[in-house]
Amino acid sequence: MDTPLVLLDVDGVLNPLQRSPGYQRYRASPDGVVYRLLLNPRHGPLLTGLAADTGAEIVWASYWRDAANDWISPRVGLPSLRHVPIPRHDPEFSLGAWKARHVAAWVGERPFVWLEDEPDVTNALTEEKELGPYLVVPVDPLHGLTETHVDQARAWLEQLIRDHG
């Protein structure tokens, strides 16, 4: 079996809309525009633990693209990660549908679990015919990623390994 992927979004997942305990404020200016961020240093260990336990590779699936390695990774405790090359958003599509098309094209038939807050990626993925097994773990953008989401991802990956190992 190909190495499973953990696809990781930034806004609404690592960077929620609402500040909860454990989050710190940051600013980032990847393209000269200043963005305000709320980031949680516990996210990195949670996710690298998931990857270590399951043999999965964490990959950015975000409009931040590889800028996430500069502005997000060091602040949450993640290493530098590969990223899905998502082109600039085409407004003919929703943010989620545009992203899902490019995720599908990039992952091919590799299994993946996707931590994502855009609700329409699930529908968009059902239009893709050539995908391997996958799970979208929907994240509430107000609160961002929690241990519950990571546990869902872990349970699915462990089942995948049992089925295909």
Q: Which residues bind Mg ion (CB under 5 A)?
A: 9, 11-12, 117
Q: Which residue lies nearer to Mg ion by CB, 4 or 118?
A: 118
Burial 17-34 (b: 16+ CB within 10 A, else e): eeeeeebeeeebeeeeee
Q: Which residue lies nearer to Mg ion by CB, 115 or 160?
A: 115
Q: How far apart are CA 116 and CA 118, in angstroms?
A: 6
Query: Which residue number places its CB atom closest to Mg ion?
Result: 12
Q: Which residue lies nearer to Mg ion by CB, 44 or 117?
A: 117
Q: Which residue lies nearer to Mg ion by CB, 33 or 52?
A: 33
Which residue's entry shows tokens 């990623």? 145
Q: Which residue lies nearer to Mg ion by CB, 71 or 117?
A: 117
Cβ 105 to Mg ion shortest distance, Å: 19
Cβ 10 to Mg ion shortest distance, Å: 7
Cβ 85 to Mg ion shortest distance, Å: 17
Cβ 109 to Mg ion shortest distance, Å: 25
Cβ 4 to Mg ion shortest distance, Å: 21
